[in-house]
Amino acid sequence: MDLIVIAALCVAAASVIGGATGFGTSLIATPLMLTVGIGLAETVVVNLVVALIARVGVTVQLREHIDWRRVAVLGAASVPGAWLGVQTVTLLPDQHLKPAAGAVTILCGLAMALPTRHGAGPPSAAITAAVGAIGGYFSTTTSLNGPPVVLLLGRAKIPPMSFIADLAGYFVITSIVSLALLWAGTGIDLPGLWPLLAACVVAGVTANQLGIAIARRLPTHLFRSAVIVLVVIAGLLTIVTA
């Protein structure tokens, strides 16, 4: 029970930040949960389920803004990447994967700090597929499937609503694919995680609304900068405590 409460608190803290900034929920939740002693497999499943439930509503609400072709390419390309990630999880123990998760977290935080090129055009199908595959691999190994696609869409001339809608559609697809592959290809007991998942979903959805309320009162650019710093620090803590 104590572990469930701790996990829910970690997800809640990450979801407040995610709601306030529009990104970074898994980036914060992953190192937090790993640092307090929650297993990497459980952390990945929790993040994927919370992301799936949170993004289904966004996908339905913004369906008119979705570029279905781009989302389909990203989702389809994530399948082989996610499968390769499952093979990695089954071969490498947590003591190797946890430092890797910390390193990926740090790199994602640094990448998010890079300036956006406003003059860029829509990404090609080949680049989109490559990014989808990378996202799929990160999805099943660390649950950090968002940053590659965020960087792809953020550096192209994509309208804000399409950006949010495409990202939500991608999250729905890759989360379903990743959970199915993890269930089939590893020893993760998904039904046995229902108490943990239920607590984290409730905490995540509630805290996300709080984060949205905070966003209306704080300068967004300053808060996003603080979050990037926090992401890098959290990644360093994950490596140190692995």
What is the number of other CB atoms lying within 10 angstroms of the CB of residue 96? Answer: 11
User: How far is the C-alpha of 9 from the C-alpha of 154, rounded, in Å?
Assistant: 30
- Which amino acid belongs to residue 115? P
Residue 8, pLDDT score: 94
Mark out the alpha helices in the chain (DSSP H runs): 2-21, 25-35, 40-61, 68-91, 94-112, 125-141, 146-154, 160-185, 194-215, 220-241
Domain limits, the chain: 1-241
pLDDT along the chain (242 residues), means of 10: 88 84 78 86 92 86 91 96 93 78 78 64 87 93 85 77 86 94 86 91 88 71 70 76 64
**What does the pLDDT read at residue 25?**
83
Alpha carbons 10 and 32: distance in angstroms, whole number: 6
The predicted pLDDT at position 213 comes to: 78
Give the C-alpha separation, 163 to 123, whole Å. Answer: 13
The predicted structure's pLDDT at residue 18: 75
pLDDT confidence of residue 93: 76
Residue-level pLDDT at 80: 97
For residue 215, count other CB atoms closer than 10 A to its CB.
17
> Do residues 32 and 13 touch, judged by C-beta distance below 8 A?
yes
C-alpha 15/C-alpha 22 separation (Å) is 10
